[in-house]
Amino acid sequence: MSGLERSGPVTRMALTLHDSMDAKFGFDDNADFRQQDIFSLRDISQEEPSEVEAQKANLNFIKLDGTIGCLVNGAGLAMATMDVLSLHGGNPANFLDVGGGATPETVKKAFEILIADPKVKGIFINIFGGIMRCDYIAEGVIKATKELEMKIPLIVRLKGTKEAEAKQYVPLTGFQVGCC
């Protein structure tokens, strides 16, 4: 979360004095260790539960209103993926950046968060493996499809580090996965 401030209704107390009736503040998560007194005031009941769950797994996640779940590595690629989906008539259900250090377990956790949303009718995975190893993503996809008994379609795009190995794993999911 970045440094954000939103103020609600304002009342006029005198000619030059104004008082805010409501306000929300957001702080950069990287400041947590330096500003523990401020972060201890956090009220997660006021936050989207799926976003809180993702944060616990070190996933960058923002819930949206669409029907296509997105699992991507890198914020820039995630934004571009959402733009392309929208350009072609799709509607992203989320922004989810697994980052460069994802493991098969974090990929499975990402799937748990995605399929918990009843609006999600399919999942698009778009990975460019520079730092991220595509085989780790593929292992996570296999783990998720088997353990979570997934019933929605997947499209998987894997390019980069360990791509060939990853593409050999994807058919092991046991159900139809579009892979490019």
User: pTM for this one?
Assistant: 0.80
**Do 21 and 8 contact (CB within 8 A), yes or no?**
yes
- Structural domains in the chain? 1-42 (no CATH), 48-179 (3.40.50.261)
Mean pLDDT of 91-119: 94
Distance between CA 168 and CA 156 in Å, rounded? Answer: 13
**Do 120 and 152 contact (CB within 8 A), yes or no?**
yes
pLDDT on residue 4:
53
- pLDDT band of 12, cuts 50, 70, 90: low
Question: pLDDT per residue over 30-84, tens digit each?
Answer: 888 898 898 888 888 988 999 999 999 989 999 999 999 999 999 999 999 999 9
Pairing of strands 4-7, 23-26: antiparallel
pLDDT on residue 149:
86
pLDDT on residue 178:
58
Question: pLDDT per residue over 119-135, tens digit each?
Answer: 999 999 999 988 888 99
DSSP 89: T
Distances (CA, A) of 125 to 21, 69, 97, 98, 137: 43, 8, 10, 10, 9
